[in-house]
Amino acid sequence: MIQSKPSLRKRRSLLLFLSTAIFLQGCGVGENPVKKIQSELQNEKEYTIILHDMREEGNFVPSYYHQYRVDIGEQKSVRSFKEVDKNFYNKNGPYLGMALAGKTADGKITNTPFPNGYQYVGNSQYGQWRQNSSGGSMWEFYGKYMLMSQVMNWGGFGLSRNHYNDYSSFNRSGRPYYGPKREYGTSGTVTKKQKPDFFKRKMAKKTRSQSRFQNKVKQRMGRSKNTFRSRGFSFGK
């Protein structure tokens, strides 16, 4: 059986796909950007790589971007958006605002996502464990670092030792930790308060997609009516 040659449209689509793939490989899109940053920071005593923002652009051939904040001790810097591979983008989709990787002062490196701020707990440079009125232990940052508890939305009450133990257990087993009430990450209540621009873009994209879908439906319905009329059918008023 003789197979027909691919249509011109299919050949063009394949050529566009291959050209895009080659171009993206040349730009380093397929590499792991977090691993690359870790390689740059390998001589640092401690660091944290945070997924500061992410965005998706385009419709026919979408492009995906990450923006990282890199903390080295008390120095914080937000890097420019970087295009990333679709699979890497989707894999890290749940972790907006969280640390994707880090190195603590004792040299321990983790690549399991966790809420930014937990890496300082237990380090006597930043705070201490105190016993509360209920007999439990709470982590309390020193005065100059109290802003960290506000960023973490701890409400000035610190972090309980039980919750920190839960985080440690998740981290040891290689499971992402989203907080005691799953308040961190892309679906977390804290993140929705801290990242309003991301969610505005997400809602705007959803609205545009719905509008395009509705327009396509209207166009198809219009073509269907014209087809019926051309065949002698009529529509009642």
DSSP output for 133-171: TTS-EEEEE-GGGHHHHHHTT-TTS-EEHHHHHHHHHHH
Residues 132 and 150 sit within 8 Å (Cβ to Cβ): no
Q: Does residue 115 sit within a domain? A: yes
Residues 190 and 183 sit within 8 Å (Cβ to Cβ): yes
Q: Which of 169, 167, 150 is nearest to 115 (CA)?
A: 167
Look at residue 186 and tell me whether its pLDDT is greater than 60.
Answer: yes
Which whole-number Å values give the CA distances from 53 to 39, 62, 71, 114, 135, in the listed order? 21, 17, 15, 16, 39
Q: Does residue 208 sit within a domain? A: no
In the prediction, which pLDDT does 73 show? 82
Average pLDDT over residues 110-139: 90
Q: Does residue 225 sit within a domain? A: no
Look at residue 113 and tell me whether its pLDDT is greater than 80.
Answer: yes
In the prediction, which pLDDT does 11 show? 62
Q: Does residue 10 sit within a domain? A: no
Contacts with 101 (C-beta within 8 Å, 6 or more apart), sequence order: 34, 37, 38, 48, 49, 109, 110, 111
In the prediction, which pLDDT does 43 show? 95
DSSP code per residue over 64-98? EEEEEEEEETTEEEEPPPEEE-HHHHHHTGGGTTE
Q: Does residue 2 sit within a domain? A: no
How many helices and strands in the chain, by DSSP H and E? 7, 10
Q: Does residue 134 sit within a domain? A: yes
% of the chain exceeding 90 in pLDDT: 50
Mean pLDDT score of the chain: 82
Q: Does residue 127 sit within a domain? A: yes
In the prediction, which pLDDT does 219 show? 66
pTM (predicted TM-score)? 0.75
**pLDDT band at residue 30 using 50, 70 and 90 as cut-offs:** confident
Q: Does residue 145 sit within a domain? A: yes
Look at residue 122 and tell me whether its pLDDT is greater than 60.
Answer: yes
- Domains in the chain, number: 1
Range of the domain at 41: 28-196
